[in-house]
Amino acid sequence: MSAKRNEPQEEKQKLFFDTLMENDGNIVQAGEVAGYSARYSYKLAYKYQDYLLNRINGSLLLDGVKAATIFRKILSSPDPVADIPGAELKMKAGTQVLDRIGVSKKDQIVVDVKSSQGIFFLPKKDIEAVEQVNDDNSET
């Protein structure tokens, strides 16, 4: 079985990243748990930043499930403000999470060109050449 590129291979490194995800991102504490100095912990986080970003995205994905659940509860409640403490704040936070994982807002541009003619891209006009032609025509 081949090792994945830019993914920690040593058990200490895996422990570092597991702890980092569980302790609210305290790099120094995660390093201490894994047996690393504070300085090396930061180096390790930068070395495996793609792996760390992937873990963060996975965590946000799970939070997206929580956000969707909160939305369902709020939408099905006859009086969400009374029934669910902090409903408005939870809706805002949930919207942010869903936006970041690409669930709610999707900007799409559809370009549909129906033409029997081709589309031509012309080069930028040379303003000096146009002015020169205009000056030449005005002198005659």
Question: Model confidence over 83-140: pLDDT tens digits?
Answer: 888 888 888 888 888 888 887 666 677 767 676 776 667 777 777 776 776 776 666 5
pTM for the model stands at: 0.58
Which residue did the predictor score with more confidence, 126 or 5?
126
Residue 27, domain member (yes or no): no
Q: At what angle do helices 49-76 and 87-100 cross, to 10 degrees?
A: 140
Enter the tokens of residue 90: 């939870």
> Within a domain: residue 57?
yes
Task: Give the domain range for residue 62.
Answer: 48-108
Is residue 52 one of the residues assigned to a domain? yes
Instruction: For 123-137, write each residue's pLDDT tens digit.
Output: 777 777 767 767 766
Q: Write out pLDDT tens, residues 8-66.
A: 989 999 999 999 999 989 999 999 999 999 999 999 999 999 999 899 888 888 888 88
Could you give the number of structural domains in the chain? Answer: 1
* Residue 101 covered by a domain: yes
Q: What pLDDT was estimated at residue 78?
A: 85
Has residue 138 been placed in a domain? no
**Does a structural domain hold residue 119?**
no
**Structure tokens, 79:** 């009086």
The pLDDT value given to residue 140:
57
Residue 31 covered by a domain: no
- Average pLDDT in the 2-13 region? 78
Asked whether the CA dihedral 43, 45, 50, 51 is positive or negative, the reply is positive
